[in-house]
């Protein structure tokens, strides 16, 4: 019953309750479904840079909802998160003692370069008893708990823990709390590359339970013992100043809590969450956004995607974004949900589905008031459940508008191939052309290898259009210059010398200049950026494939 849903027999993600279950846990052939298969993608800047970070703590209706179904479910209007470019850490929170993040979340986050933490929580009277059992028991007892938690993160391939002790502690127990945190942090660091342990602002060094809403001398001992502090939500600006002073060079390791539900005496919340973030960033501190599922729970499922884009759009100014730093980059923008499943532009199977493991790499979602909006379209897609809709206007007298999809940070290979699948919507789609544009970082040495198209001085490159794929790549780039179900396919090639890639954008241009403003709407079905050299190499052979845990229906 822990590993498989009793109604459907499908594999499910699970939590552990109490100390006995935690200490008794060991790897089991039934839980292989729960192991994340997606390695954490590299991104820039890395997590340990000094710039302030953004943590999202997902707490929804007790957790383990439809997201517990490892192979997906037929859920209508599910909750999804897709603004991964704007955040640094994702925490899956519930009130069970040991919250192991559902593997679908770890897969989606890792594909987008975001580490995932589970939660270890004790609370109320039961929590006091639990802490008494493992903390007052001394080094052997708390060492066993630290070892199990590190082993669980390592086994399921997630990235660490948020530790939340929300009950008072006896003198014997509190004496071992900082040593336990140090031990857990060391074990997680050695078991999980890039692993993290973050402490929630709760118990003080004398064992009292009193939320401080800041870093101070009463909770600093726990901050010093691990990778970061997640503060409570009822802070005022002078507490941010005090925290910044005390944290010193570790200011980015303090995640100032922001409750999107705005419970208690807080600044901001809801669509005013930007007010809290503005203050937090003024003091160069990191932010912990708690329960952004408010958008879904409070405003309802009906216009969720629209409201979600509005919510994150209002915060974008305070959320430094991340760059992709490896190729290939390939995405069909699917959210891991839909009202149909599409393949090659064709609706293959109607009906709702939800599987975050199938979520693809997500782009930036740029918004410019009145000029441009980026959103998800479930009604039509090239592959998966959704496409990316770009809507906007080209101002009078201007010929084009560029929409930045991804920021990039890597040396450019000598030759890259790019592919684009798009569909223009509206009455006169022939009025526009759609193309990809690559920008490079300014450097005196960067040259475009193809002398026929000189780059603009600001590092803009317009890759050369290929009417047919080059030999050897015909299979991979089969879609070059082909129309299917209304989708147009384009392939390009770009040769660069001594360049560093900066941005990938889509450019929508008018065919004819016009003194009027012109509106456009375009769906993007797929974008790929490929390093020619590695694409041409033959893929490694796969040997010894085995299949287990089969259930025929």
Whether 224 and 343 map to the same domain: the answer is: no
Q: Using one digit for the tens of pLDDT, what is the confidence trace for 299-356?
A: 999 999 999 999 999 999 999 999 999 999 999 999 999 999 999 999 999 999 999 9
Question: Pick from 262, 293, 322: which residue ends a domain?
Answer: 322
Query: Is residue 543 included in any domain, yes or no?
Result: no
Residue 553 binned pLDDT confidence (cut-offs 50, 70, 90): low
Does residue 156 sit in the same domain as residue 262?
yes
Contact yes or no for 253/224 (Cβ under 8 A): no
250: CATH: 3.20.20.80
Based on the fold, state whether residues 417 and 314 are members of the same structural domain: no
- What angle do the packed helices 304-315 and 273-282 form, to 10 degrees? 30
Mark which of 287, 322, 357 sits at the end of a domain.
322
Q: Residue 368: which of 350, 395, 397, 336 has the closest Cα?
A: 395
According to DSSP, residue 549 is labeled: S
User: Which pLDDT score is estimated for 476?
Assistant: 66
Q: Are residues 289 and 354 in the same domain?
A: no
pLDDT of residue 44: 94
Name the E strands within 441-547: 447-448, 460-461, 464-466, 483-484, 487-497, 500-510, 518-531
Are residue 283 and residue 336 in the same domain, yes or no?
no
CA-wise closest residue to 218 among 283, 237, 229: 229
129: left (phi over 0), alpha (psi -120 to 50) or beta: alpha
- The torsion angles phi and psi of 535, rounded to 5 degrees, stand at -70, -35
Number of structural domains the chain divides into? 2
The reply to whether 546 falls in a domain is: no
| 335 neighbors 386 (Cβ within 8 angstroms) | yes
* Residues 300, 449 share a domain: no
Phi/psi at 342 (5° precision): -110, 145
**161 has which bridge partners?**
118, 197
**352 in any annotated domain:** yes
- Identify whether the C-beta of residue 312 lies closer than 8 Å to the C-beta of residue 365: yes
281 and 417 housed in the same domain: no
Question: Using CA atoms, how far apart are residues 231 and 247, in angstroms rounded to an integer?
Answer: 13
Q: Report phi then psi at 89, rounded to 5.
A: -140, 140
Q: State the CB neighbour count (10 A cutoff) for residue 426.
A: 12
> How many CB atoms neighbour CB 551 within 10 A?
9
d(CA 251, CA 51): 9
496: domain CATH number? Answer: 2.60.120.260
What phi and psi, each to the nearest 5 degrees, are found at residue 350? -85, 150
pTM reported for the whole predicted model: 0.96
> In a 3-state reduction of DSSP, which class is residue 25?
coil
Do the domain assignments include residue 46? no
Check whether 475 has a pLDDT greater than 90. Answer: no
pLDDT at position 151 is 98
* pLDDT for res 383: 95
| 544 found inside a domain | no
Kindly report, residue by residue over 117-163, the tens digit of the pLDDT: 999 999 999 999 999 999 999 999 999 999 999 999 999 999 999 99
Q: Kindly report whether the peptide bond that precedes residue 45 is cis, defined as omega within 30 degrees of 0.
A: yes
Q: Could you tell me if residue 397 is inside a domain?
A: yes
Does residue 94 lie within any of the structural domains? yes
Share of the chain above pLDDT 70, in %: 95
Domain carrying residue 368: 329-536
Number of alpha helices (DSSP H) and beta strands (DSSP E) in the chain: 12, 26
Are both 153 and 192 inside the same structural domain? yes
pLDDT exceeds cutoff 80 at 538: no
What's the chain's Rg over C-alpha atoms?
25
At residue 539, the pLDDT reads: 77
Q: Give the pLDDT band of residue 408 (cuts 50, 70, 90).
A: very high
- Strand partners of residue 526: 421
245 three-state secondary structure: helix
pLDDT tops 90 at residue 482: no
Give the count of beta carbons closer than 10 Å to the beta carbon of residue 511: 11
Residues 390, 307 share a domain: no
* DSSP-assigned letters across all residues of 393-410: EEPTT--EEEEEEEEEEE
Q: Which of 281, 304, 322 is the last residue of a domain?
A: 322
pLDDT at 391: 94
The SS3 call for residue 279 is: helix
Domain co-membership, 178 together with 303: yes
CA-to-CA separations, 323 to 41, 120, 255, 357, in angstroms, rounded: 11, 31, 22, 21
Distance CA 325, CA 111 (A): 13
- For residue 436, give the 3-state DSSP assignment: strand
Cα 398 from Cα 310, distance rounded (Å):
27
pLDDT on residue 549: 79
Task: Say yes or no: 306 and 411 in one domain.
Answer: no
Give SS3 for 416. strand
Looking at the domain assignment, is residue 47 inside a domain? no
* Band (405; pLDDT cuts 50, 70, 90): very high
* Percent of the chain scoring above 90 in pLDDT: 81
Q: ω before 323 within 30° of 0 (cis)?
A: no
Task: Please indicate, yes or no, whether residues 439 and 335 belong to a single structural domain of this protein.
Answer: yes
Is a pLDDT exceeding 90 seen at residue 487? Answer: yes
Q: Is the model's pLDDT at 514 over the cut of 70?
A: yes
- Express each pLDDT in 231-290 by its tens digit: 999 999 999 999 999 999 999 999 999 999 999 999 999 999 999 999 999 999 999 999
Q: Is the confidence at residue 458, as pLDDT, over 70?
A: no
Lowest mean pLDDT among 95-109, 282-296, 346-360, 368-382: 368-382
């Amino acid at each position: 019953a822990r590993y498989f849903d009793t109604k459907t027999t499908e594999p499910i993600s699970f939590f552990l309750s109490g100390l006995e279950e935690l200490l008794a846990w060991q790897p089991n052939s039934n839980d292989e479904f729960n192991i994340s298969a997606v390695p954490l993608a590299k991104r820039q800047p890395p997590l340990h840079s000094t710039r302030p970070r953004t943590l999202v703590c997902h707490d929804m209706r007790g957790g383990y909802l439809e997201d517990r179904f490892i192979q997906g479910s037929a859920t209508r209007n599910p909750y999804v998160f897709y603004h991964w470019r704007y955040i640094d850490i994702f925490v899956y929170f519930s009130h069970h003692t040991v919250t192991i993040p559902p593997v679908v979340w770890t897969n989606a986050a890792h594909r987008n370069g975001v580490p995932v933490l589970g939660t270890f929580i004790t609370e109320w009277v039961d929590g006091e008893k639990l802490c008494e059992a493992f903390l007052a028991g001394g080094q052997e007892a708390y060492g066993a708990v630290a070892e199990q938690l590190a082993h669980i993160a390592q086994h399921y391939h997630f990235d660490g823990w948020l530790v939340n002790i929300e009950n008072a502690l006896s003198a014997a127990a509190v004496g071992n709390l900082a040593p336990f945190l140090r031990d857990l942090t060391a074990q997680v660091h050695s078991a999980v590359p890039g692993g993290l342990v973050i402490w929630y602002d709760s118990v003080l060094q004398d064992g009292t339970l009193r939320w401080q809403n800041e870093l101070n001398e009463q909770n600093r001992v726990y901050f010093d013992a691990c990778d970061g502090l997640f503060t409570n939500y009822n802070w005022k600006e002078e507490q941010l100043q005090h925290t910044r002073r005390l944290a010193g060079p570790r200011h980015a390791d303090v995640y100032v809590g922001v409750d999107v539900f705005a419970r208690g005496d807080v600044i901001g919340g809801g669509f005013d969450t930007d007010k809290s973030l503005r203050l937090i960033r003024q003091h160069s501190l990191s932010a912990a956004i708690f329960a952004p599922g408010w958008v879904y729970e409070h405003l309802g499922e009906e216009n969720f995607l629209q409201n979600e884009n509005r919510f994150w759009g209002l915060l974008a100014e305070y959320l430094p974004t991340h760059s992709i730093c490896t190729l290939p980059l390939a995405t069909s923008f699917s959210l891991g949900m839909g009202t149909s499943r599409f393949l090659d532009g064709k609706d293959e199977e109607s009906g709702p589905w939800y599987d975050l493991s199938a979520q693809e790499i997500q782009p930036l979602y740029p918004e410019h008031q009145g000029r441009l909006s980026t959103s998800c379209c479930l009604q039509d897609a090239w592959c998966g459940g959704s496409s990316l809709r770009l809507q906007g206007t080209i101002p009078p007298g201007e010929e084009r508008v560029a929409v930045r999809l991804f920021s990039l940070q890597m040396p450019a290979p000598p030759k890259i191939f790019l592919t684009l699948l798009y569909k223009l919507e509206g009455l006169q789609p022939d009025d526009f052309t759609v193309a990809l544009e690559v920008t490079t970082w300014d450097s005196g040495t960067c040259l475009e290898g193809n002398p026929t198209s000189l780059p603009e001085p600001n590092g803009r490159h317009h890759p050369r259009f290929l009417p047919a794929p080059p030999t050897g790549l015909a299979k991979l780039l089969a879609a070059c210059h082909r129309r299917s179900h209304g989708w147009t396919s384009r392939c390009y090639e770009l040769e660069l010398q001594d360049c560093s890639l900066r941005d990938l954008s889509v450019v929508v241009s008018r065919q004819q200049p016009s003194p009027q403003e012109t509106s456009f709407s375009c769906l993007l079905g797929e974008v790929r950026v490929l390093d020619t050299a590695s694409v041409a190499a033959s893929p490694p052979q796969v040997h010894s494939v085995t299949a287990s845990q089969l259930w025929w229906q």
